């Protein structure tokens, strides 16, 4: 079965129009979550633009489906969200990222931060902070090595709960990044109220940043905004040298994208970016 088609259509919210394939995949997801040996985190490096040093890595989930092969998150995260399975899956992600990072920290790579993506449903669940605290304790990872990436849309809705939850995560020592920044069409006023650490400029702006004046202006504005609020700023989706040069010229702090590396399996990441670069 070819699943590389239109994922949005495939997982439309109209339950009654579910196809046999969707129900099948949901069953598979349910089973996979009980076995827990089909999911895998890939890691994509993040670099400091000025020093060109590795600063950390984003974890990105893949599902090694026994029949369908390696599935990217777009093929099953929406389904997991729709069915509520995201709670278990999201917990698996945080645990796996913390376990891996703790191994790396224990091996002497002590200046790095791993990030995990949080879906809105996961963020809004009551016991998220306790879950994160438990996982940190259980894995032994010092909280400062963990960053959670939240999307801007999540942050601007339900502000009261969000404010409290982010505050409690910060108290644990976890770092918070706003993913896909600039796509939320929100007033920027909320930024001063939320104790976040990092803005991640969405790749839709970075894509044609050197040829599209509007996207160049937005990118420069986000960098300036981050500087004046004393936040870190990272650009994602950097695929070419001209984009990297633009970002360096305009003082973007950190950078991530295919130009440097695709997301890699842990062992490959270690060989390419840890063993050779740091030690």
CA distance linking residue 206 with residue 236, whole number of Å = 7
Q: How far apart are CA 76 and CA 278, in angstroms?
A: 35
Q: Of the listed pieces 47-55, 160-168, 231-239, 267-275, which binds ligand C2E according to CB under 6 A?
A: 231-239
Using CB under 5 A as the binding rule, the residues of this chain from 98 to 137 that contact Ca ion are 117
Check residue 182 for interaction with ligand C2E (CB under 6 A). no
Report if residue 180 touches Ca ion, rule: CB under 5 A. Answer: yes
**3-state DSSP assignment of residue 123:** helix
Among 73, 78, 182, 184, interactor with ligand C2E by CB under 6 A = 73
Q: Which two tokens stand for residue 182?
A: 């600039």
Compute the least distance from the CB of residue 279 to ligand C2E, in Å.
26
Q: Least distance to ligand C2E from the beta carbon of 169, Å? A: 16
Binding of residue 251 to ligand C2E (CB under 6 A): no
Candidate ranges 2-10, 46-54, 69-77, 220-228; the one touching ligand C2E (CB under 6 A): 69-77
Q: Which partner, ligand C2E, Ca ion, none, binds residue 257 by CB below 5 to 8 Å per kind? A: ligand C2E
- Which DSSP letter does residue 44 get? E
77 binds, among Ca ion, ligand C2E, none (CB under 5 to 8 A by kind): ligand C2E
Q: At closest approach, how far in Å is the CB of 202 from Ca ion?
A: 6
- Residues contacting 65, CB < 8 A, separation 6+: 28, 32, 38, 71
Q: How many secondary structure helices (H) and strands (E) does the chain include?
A: 12, 10
Beta bridge partners of 42: 60, 265
Question: Looking only at residues 14 through 43 of this chain, which bind ligand C2E when binding is defined by CB under 6 A?
Answer: none
Residue 26, C-beta contacts closer than 8 angstroms, at least 6 positions apart? 79, 83, 85
State which residue, 73 or 182, has the beta carbon closest to ligand C2E. 73
User: Measured from the CB of residue 108, what is the shortest distance to ligand C2E in angstroms?
Assistant: 26
Give residues 232-271 in contact with Ca ion (rule: CB under 5 A).
none
Angle between helices 20-35 and 86-106 (to 10 degrees): 40
Measured CA distances, 2 to 22, 67, 69, 77, 200 (Å):
12, 11, 11, 17, 32
Which residues would be at the binding site for ligand C2E (CB under 6 A)?
A: 44, 60-61, 72-74, 77, 90, 93, 117-119, 149, 179-180, 203, 236-239, 257-258, 263
Which residues would be at the binding site for Ca ion (CB under 5 A)?
A: 117, 149, 179-180
């Amino acid at each position: 079965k070819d699943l590389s088609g239109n994922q949005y259509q495939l997982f439309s919210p109209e339950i009654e129009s579910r196809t046999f394939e969707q129900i099948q995949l949901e069953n598979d997801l349910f089973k996979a979550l009980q076995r827990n040996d089909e999911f895998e985190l890939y890691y994509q490096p993040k670099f400091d633009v000025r020093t060109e040093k590795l600063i950390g890595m984003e974890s990105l989930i893949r599902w090694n489906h026994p029949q369908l092969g390696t599935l990217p998150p777009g093929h099953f995260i929406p389904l997991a969200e729709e069915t509520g399975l995201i709670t278990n899956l999201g917990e698996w992600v945080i645990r796996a990222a913390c376990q891996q990072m703790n191994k790396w920290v224990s091996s002497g790579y002590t200046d790095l931060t791993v990030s995990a993506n949080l879906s809105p449903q996961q963020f809004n669940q009551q016991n998220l902070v306790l879950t994160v605290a438990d996982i940190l304790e259980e894995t032994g990872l010092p909280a400062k090595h963990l960053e959670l990436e939240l999307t801007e849309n999540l942050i601007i809705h339900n502000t009261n709960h969000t404010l409290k939850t982010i505050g409690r995560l910060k108290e644990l020592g976890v770092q918070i990044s706003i993913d896909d920044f600039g796509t939320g069409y929100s007033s920027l006023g909320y930024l001063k109220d939320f104790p976040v650490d990092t803005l991640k400029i969405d790749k839709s702006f970075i894509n044609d940043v050197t040829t599209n004046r509007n996207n160049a202006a937005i990118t420069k504005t986000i960098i300036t905004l981050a500087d004046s609020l004393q936040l870190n700023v990272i650009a994602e989706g950097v695929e070419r040298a001209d984009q990297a040069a633009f970002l360096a010229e305009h003082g973007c702090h950190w950078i991530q994208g295919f130009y440097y590396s695709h997301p890699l399996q842990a062992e490959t990441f270690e060989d390419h970016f840890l063993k050779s670069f740091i030690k």
